């Protein structure tokens, strides 16, 4: 990433007027586990921003392509989503693509709108996921906007 986008901390430190940051590669496809690099980089940049006077408001964080139709395994969906609840700001997740296209590897749904295996892990447990989001939100201190804790 560094050679494609430059140094992330320098880039983040130079941003002004930005309210939302989207992190990329929140799941490590090699180790099949949460990838904290983007979140850790963002936390370091945000800590540096907090030293400014006046300190800017913390960024809202969401994940780029939290879930798509092909990159993950069904058993990885729950730990991945729980990791985003711990490290993100509850702004949102990005499911790519929600178009009904059986032949499209990134699409989460078949032509008939039946869920492909990865999004089924969300759809079939929707009420439980909403409960987990509520619990994650209730664990915050008043005014806290981030859960970027390991």
Domain ranges for the chain, please list them. Answer: 2-138
Helices (H), the chain: 2-5, 8-14, 37-50, 74-87, 117-123, 126-138
- Omega prior to 97 cis, within 30 of 0: yes
Q: Is the pLDDT of residue 149 over 50?
A: no
Q: Rg for the chain (alpha carbons), in Å?
A: 17
Q: CB count, 10 Å around CB of 104?
A: 17
The pTM score is: 0.81
d(CA 94, CA 76): 16
**pLDDT tens, residue by residue, 83-121:** 888 888 888 788 888 889 999 999 999 999 999 999 999
Query: Contact, 89 vs 61, CB < 8 A?
Result: yes
Instruction: Kindly report the backbone phi and psi dihedral angles of residue 36, in degrees, each rounded to the nearest multiple of 5, phi listed first.
Output: -90, -5
**pLDDT tens, residue by residue, 65-87:** 888 888 889 999 999 999 888 88
């Amino acid at each position: 990433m560094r050679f494609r986008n430059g140094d992330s901390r320098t880039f983040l430190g130079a941003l002004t007027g930005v309210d939302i940051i989207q992190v990329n590669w929140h799941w490590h496809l090699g180790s099949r586990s949460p990838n904290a690099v983007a979140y850790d980089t963002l936390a370091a940049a945000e800590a540096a921003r907090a030293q400014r006077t006046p300190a800017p408001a913390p960024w809202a964080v969401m994940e780029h392509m939290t879930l798509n139709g092909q990159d993950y395994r069904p058993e990885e969906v729950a730990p991945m989503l729980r990791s985003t609840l711990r490290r993100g700001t509850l702004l949102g997740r990005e499911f790519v693509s929600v178009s009904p296209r059986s032949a499209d590897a990134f699409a989460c749904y078949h032509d008939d709108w039946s869920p492909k295996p990865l999004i089924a892990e969300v759809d079939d447990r929707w009420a439980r996921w909403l409960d987990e989001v509520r619990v994650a939100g209730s664990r915050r201190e008043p005014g806290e906007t981030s859960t970027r804790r390991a």
